[in-house]
């Protein structure tokens, strides 16, 4: 896999370089609520611009249905990229149309442009190879070189991720190189004890990684909405908590395998419950109650780990040499249900382990809860991509960058 260092050594001055970034930032209207993904690609864009390249940054945002949708415009991301670069960033209002062609043609050496959301064109995500290829052909007309640096999208077989690098000389950006290097530390010659913390809403989203980690990890700590399917599998009643009943047999099998292999599964011993989901818009005060996991009321739903669970999880992470964390422990967006997620983040900081925060909501939680990002070993930009890598899957976007 060619690196951006090699590309820069060969010279990029005056060349049009297409950077497939991941600018899929959360928006409140047109306001970016977490610019972590833009900051992550900034070094690659800056290095190319400083070397005299004419940089074309492209990304997806959200899930528009293959047609323009103002709610998913990349215009706010382009403006924020310009602020962070300290330079004007041009913005094309389409992907391969007249605006994109004109904006790219007007670029001078060292200048940067962002084209509109790639998913505004149905060819980007099409399952039809010919349709994807046709879109990639049009994108290729805009550039001379390709740099893949959108780690959050490398698990997708999309035109800009897989088909475009097949049409242009290509290299991996600095962010992808860093992400892959970190993930290798979680799969090859892992420093032990190796603890994994998994949270989030659905256990079905994590089945593949749990299956693979049963061969790798020493401890697996479960929290978030997915914990209630595990608790139900152990025979507990979970009231109105999030539950995937159809996943109980799979969970019971994993618990059995973990026991046979000597992998420690750690589940909540107490939880914070409420009788309704908290208001995340106004963050109006909720009325949480702490209950043991065998005493969840029938009309209550679990919304965060309880204080005894927070202490337990901290103790299970204290002596770890490697920790991977993906998924919040509760509804961290509401202050009354943020303590479980905060406690896990603090436990990672307090440990002497190599710590990796696995993207998505976990990365957002770290920033929203006010933690110093530098206190962690690595904060990934790709939740889904990280999980699929840890499952042992071949990621199409990484394979496309191989020489």
Let me know if 370 is a catalytic residue: no
Longest dimension (CA), the chain: 67
- Known catalytic residue at 184: no
333 neighbors 280 (Cβ within 8 angstroms): yes
Note whether 95 and 117 are within 8 A (CB). Answer: yes
Burial class of residue 128 in the structure, from the number of CB atoms within 10 Å of its CB (0-12 exposed, 13-18 middle, 19+ buried): exposed
Q: Is 37 a catalytic residue?
A: yes
CA 292 and chain centroid, separation: 32
Catalytic one of 225, 327, 384, 397: 384
Measured between alpha carbons, how far is residue 237 from residues 197, 202, 303 in Å?
23, 18, 15
What backbone phi and psi angles, to 5 degrees, belong to 304? -170, 165
How far, in whole angstroms, is CA 168 from its chain's centroid? 27
Catalytically annotated residue among 15, 37, 47, 219: 37
Q: Name the active-site residue from 202, 257, 367, 393.
A: 202
Which entry of 200, 302, 360, 382 is annotated as an active-site residue? 360
CA 239 to chain centre: 31
Please report, for the chain, how many H helices and E strands are present, in that order: 14, 17
Catalytic residue flag (residue 306): no
Give dist(CA 115, CA 105) in Å, integer: 13
Write down how long the chain is.
Answer: 403
Residue with tokens 């084209």: 115
DSSP for 68-104 reads --GGG-SHHHHHHHHHHHTS-EEE-SSSSSHHHHHHH
Active-site amino acid positions = 37, 202, 360, 384
């Amino acid at each position: 896999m060619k690196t951006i260092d090699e590309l820069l050594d060969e010279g990029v001055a005056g060349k049009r370089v297409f950077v497939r970034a991941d600018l899929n930032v959360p928006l409140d209207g047109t306001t970016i609520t977490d610019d972590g993904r833009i900051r992550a690609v900034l070094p690659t864009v800056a290095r190319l611009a400083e070397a005299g390249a004419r940089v074309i940054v492209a990304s997806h945002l959200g899930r528009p249905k293959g047609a323009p949708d103002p709610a998913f415009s990349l215009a706010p991301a382009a403006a924020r990229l310009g602020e962070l670069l300290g330079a004007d960033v041009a913005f094309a209002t389409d992907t391969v149309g007249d605006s994109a062609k004109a904006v790219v043609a007007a670029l001078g050496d060292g200048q940067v442009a962002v084209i509109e959301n790639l998913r505004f064109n149905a060819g980007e995500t099409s399952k039809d190879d010919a349709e994807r290829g046709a879109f990639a052909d049009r994108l290729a007309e805009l550039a001379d070189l390709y740099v893949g640096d959108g780690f959050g999208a490398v698990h997708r077989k999309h035109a800009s991720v897989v088909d475009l690098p097949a049409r242009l000389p290509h290299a991996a950006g600095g962010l992808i190189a860093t992400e892959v290097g970190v993930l290798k530390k979680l799969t090859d010659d892992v420093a032990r004890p190796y603890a994994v913390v998994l949270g989030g809403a659905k256990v079905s989203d994590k089945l593949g990684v749990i299956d693979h980690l049963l061969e790798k990890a020493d401890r697996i700590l479960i929290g978030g909405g997915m914990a209630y399917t595990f608790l139900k599998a152990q025979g507990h009643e979970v009231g109105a908590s999030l539950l995937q009943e159809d996943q109980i047999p799979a969970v019971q099998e994993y618990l059995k395998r973990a026991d046979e292999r000597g992998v420690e599964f750690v589940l909540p011993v107490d939880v914070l419950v409420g009788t309704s989901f908290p208001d995340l818009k106004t963050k109006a005060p909720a009325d949480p109650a702490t209950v043991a996991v065998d005493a969840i009321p029938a009309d209550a739903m679990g919304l965060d780990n309880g204080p005894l669970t927070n202490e337990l999880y901290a103790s299970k992470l204290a002596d770890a040499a490697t920790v991977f964390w993906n998924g919040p422990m509760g509804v961290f967006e509401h202050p009354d249900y943020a303590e479980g997620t905060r406690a896990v983040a603090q436990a990672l900081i307090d440990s002497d382990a190599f710590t990796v925060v696995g993207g998505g909501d976990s990365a957002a939680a770290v920033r929203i809860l006010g933690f110093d990002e530098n206190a962690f070993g690595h904060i990934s930009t790709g939740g889904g991509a990280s999980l699929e890598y840890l499952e042992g899957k071949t990621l199409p976007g990484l394979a496309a960058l191989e020489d």
